[in-house]
Structure 1
Amino acid sequence: MGDGLTDRQTAFRVWALPGIPEVREGDDLAKLIAASVGESGEPLEDGDVLVVTSKIVSKAEGRLVAADDREEAIDAETVRLVARRGPTRIVQNRQGFVMAAAGVDASNTAPGTVLLLPEDPDASARGVRAGLRELLGVEVGVVVTDTFGRPWRNGLTDVAIGAAGLRALEDRRGDVDPFGNELALTVTASADELAGAGDLVKGKVEQLPVAVVRGLAHLTTREDGPGARPVARDAASDMFRLGTSEAIREAVLQRRTVREFTDEPVDGAAVRRAVAAAVTAPAPHHTTPWRFVLVESAEARTRLLDSMLAAWRRDLAEIDGWDEERIARRTRRGDVLRGAPYLVVPCLVAGAEGGAHGYPDARRAAAEREMFVVAVGAAVENLLVTLAGEGLGSAWVSSTMFCRETVREVLALPEAWDPMGAIAVGRPAAPAKPRPARSADSFIEVR
Structure 2
Amino acid sequence: MWALSGIPEVQQGDDLAKLIAAAEPALADGDVLLVTSKIVSKAEGRIVEAADREAAIDAEAVRVVARRGTLRIVENRQGLVMAAAGVDASNTPAGTVLLLPEDPDASARAIREGLRDTLGVNVGVVVTDTFGRPWRAGLTDVAIGAAGVRVLDDLRGGTDAYGNPLVATVVATADELAAAGDLVKGKAAGRPVAVVRGLPQVVTPVEDQGEGARALVRNAQDDMFRLGTSEAVREAVTQRRTVRAFTDDPVDPGAVRRAVAAALTAPAPHHTTPWRFVLLESAESRVRLLDAMRDAWIADLRRDGKSEESITKRVRRGDVLRNAPYLVVPCLVMDGSHTYGDARRDGAEREMFVVATGAGVQNFLVALAGERLGSAWVSSTMFCRDVVREVLGLPADWDPMGAVAIGRPAEEPRARAERDAEAFIEVR
- SS of the residue aligned with 1:59? helix
| 1:344-390 CA-partner distances (Å, limit 9, x unpaired) | 1111101xxx1101111111100000000000000000100000111
Percent of residue pairs bearing the same amino acid type = 73
Does 2:22 correspond to 1:35?
A: yes
CA distance in 1, matches of 2:279, 2:59: 47
1:39-188 map, 5 Å: 43-188=26-171
Does 2:12 correspond to 1:25?
A: yes
- SS of the residue aligned with 1:386? helix
> Which of 203, 208, 227 is equivalent to 1:242?
227
Does 2:272 correspond to 1:287?
A: yes
- SS of the residue aligned with 2:267? coil
Q: Which amino acid aligns with 2:238?
A: L
Structure 1 unaligned residues grouped into runs of 5+:
1-13
- Give the deviation of 1:328 after TM superposition: 3.0
Instruction: Give the aligned partner of residue 307 of structure 2.
Output: 323
TM-score (norm 1): 0.94
Say if 1:400 and 1:203 are closer, same or farther in 2 by CA, change over 3 A: same
Say if 1:335 and 1:136 are closer, same or farther in 2 by CA, change over 3 A: same
Say if 1:109 and 1:97 are closer, same or farther in 2 by CA, change over 3 A: same
Instruction: Give the aligned partner of residue 303 of structure 1.
Output: 288
Instruction: Give the aligned partner of residue 333 of structure 2.
Output: 349
Aligned pair count? 426
Q: Which amino acid aligns with 2:225?
A: F
| 1:301-331 CA-partner distances (Å, limit 9, x unpaired) | 111111111111111111x212334323433
Q: Which amino acid aligns with 1:17?
A: L
1:167-246 map, 5 Å: 167-222=150-205, 223-246=208-231
CA distance in 1, matches of 2:114, 2:56: 31
Instruction: Give the aligned partner of residue 380 of structure 2.
Output: 399
Does 2:375 correspond to 1:390?
A: no
| 1:257-282 CA-partner distances (Å, limit 9, x unpaired) | 10111111111111111111111111
Instruction: Give the aligned partner of residue 242 of structure 2.
Output: 257
- SS of the residue aligned with 2:322? coil
- SS of the residue aligned with 1:314? helix
CA distance in 1, matches of 2:293, 2:92: 71
Does 2:420 correspond to 1:439?
A: yes
Say if 1:110 and 1:401 are closer, same or farther in 2 by CA, change over 3 A: same
Instruction: Give the aligned partner of residue 297 of structure 2.
Output: 312
Q: Which amino acid aligns with 2:356?
A: A
CA distance in 1, matches of 2:338, 2:194: 74
Say if 1:326 and 1:229 are closer, same or farther in 2 by CA, change over 3 A: closer
Say if 1:153 and 1:329 are closer, same or farther in 2 by CA, change over 3 A: closer
- Give the deviation of 1:194 after TM superposition: 0.7
Say if 1:366 and 1:133 are closer, same or farther in 2 by CA, change over 3 A: same
TM-score (norm 2): 0.98
Instruction: Give the aligned partner of residue 10 of structure 1.
Output: none
Say if 1:188 and 1:325 are closer, same or farther in 2 by CA, change over 3 A: closer
Q: Which amino acid aligns with 2:195?
A: V
- Give the deviation of 1:180 after TM superposition: 1.8
Instruction: Give the aligned partner of residue 6 of structure 1.
Output: none
CA distance in 2, matches of 1:278, 1:22: 58
| 1:140-191 CA-partner distances (Å, limit 9, x unpaired) | 1100000000111111110000111110011122232222222222211110
- Give the deviation of 1:203 after TM superposition: 3.0
CA distance in 2, matches of 1:363, 1:160: 67
1:351-370 map, 5 Å: 354-370=335-351
